[in-house]
């Protein structure tokens, strides 16, 4: 594509998807974006391919008007707290990614696992948390990581309470953050690696 339309292929060889199966097209106007979409569709058609109707979207990212989900991350322009009028492209785990990790934690701390030793629960939880965190730490994920840590504490404390015949979480007086740390649960907080930022006006 030419002019002010830029195509960025966001896959590389060696990942679990074939190369260049996902792309982002940056355009200065909605009209140019619609033209780019139509051109991409016309280019793919002779190859027996088509744009996915549910995953192909035109999004206005200027000044954080809209965001979009891509490869597990939600991308959105965020206003700079330091430089008025500047916006930075941020990314963090998408709602779908957050629902996925919560589901995995919930399954690994289900009431049916109350008979397991807590060390076994930790051994099974930690690889899931480390793997998920290693992927999403390259971004602006601190707040989301904190949410996951709190959810893990809640679920593990609730499971431990059941083992002791207690109700609720009891995390304020018994199953505290210190207890969770001594148990060896992997924490996501503090593991984010921020990428180089680029400002947009």
Arithmetic mean of pLDDT, 108-134? 96
Share of the chain above pLDDT 70, in %: 86
- Supply the Cα-derived Rg of the chain in whole angstroms: 22
pLDDT-wise least confident of 6-15, 106-115, 149-158, 180-189: 6-15
* DSSP letter string, 35-72: HHHHHHHHHHGGGT----TTT------GGGS-EEEETT
Report the interhelical angle of 118-136 vs 142-163 (nearest 10°).
170
**Does the pLDDT value for residue 17 go beyond 70?**
no
pLDDT of residue 21: 59
pLDDT of residue 18: 47
Q: If pLDDT is split at 50, 70 and 90, which confidence band does 12 have?
A: very low
Residue-wise pLDDT tens digits, 89-117: 899 999 999 999 999 999 999 999 999 99
Angle at 158 between CA 156 and CA 164, to 5 degrees: 105
pLDDT of residue 131: 97
Per the CB < 8 A criterion, the answer to whether 197 and 88 are in contact is yes
Residue found under tokens 């965020």: 78
Higher-confidence residue: 86 or 102?
A: 102
> Which class for 179: exposed (0-12), middle (13-18), buried (19 or more C-beta within 10 A)?
middle
Give the residue ranges of DSSP H helices in 62-173.
95-108, 118-136, 142-163
Q: Is 28 left (phi over 0), alpha (psi -120 to 50) or beta?
A: alpha
Arithmetic mean of pLDDT, 57-82? 88
pTM score, two decimals? 0.78
Looking only at Cα atoms, what is the longest distance across the chain? Answer: 68
**Does the pLDDT value for residue 20 go beyond 60?**
no
**Does the pLDDT value for residue 51 go beyond 50?**
yes
150-154 — which CB contacts under 8 Å span 24+ positions? 151/102, 151/105, 152/105, 152/125, 152/180, 152/185, 153/177, 153/180, 153/185
User: How crowded is residue 93: how many other Cβ atoms within 10 Å of its Cβ?
Assistant: 26
Q: If pLDDT is split at 50, 70 and 90, which confidence band does 3 have?
A: very low
């Amino acid at each position: 594509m030419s002019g002010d339309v830029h195509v960025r292929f966001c896959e590389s060889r060696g990942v679990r998807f074939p190369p260049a199966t996902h792309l982002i097209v940056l355009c200065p106007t909605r009209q140019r974006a619609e033209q780019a979409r139509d051109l991409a569709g016309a280019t793919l058609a002779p190859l027996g391919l088509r744009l996915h109707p549910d995953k192909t979207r035109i999004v206005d990212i200027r000044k954080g008007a809209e965001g979009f989900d891509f490869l597990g991350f939600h991308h959105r322009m965020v206003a700079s707290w330091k430089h008025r009028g500047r916006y930075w492209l941020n990314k963090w785990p998408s709602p779908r990614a957050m629902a996925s990790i919560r589901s995995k934690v919930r399954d690994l701390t289900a009431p049916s696992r109350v008979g397991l030793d807590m060390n076994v629960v930790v051994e099974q939880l930690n690889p899931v948390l480390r793997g998920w965190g290693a992927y999403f730490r390259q971004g602006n994920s601190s707040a989301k990581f904190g949410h996951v840590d709190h959810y893990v504490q809640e679920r593990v404390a609730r499971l431990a309470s059941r083992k002791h015949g207690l109700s609720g979480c009891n995390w304020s007086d018994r199953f505290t953050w210190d207890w969770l740390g001594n148990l060896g649960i992997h924490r996501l907080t503090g593991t984010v690696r921020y990428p180089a930022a680029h400002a947009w006006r």
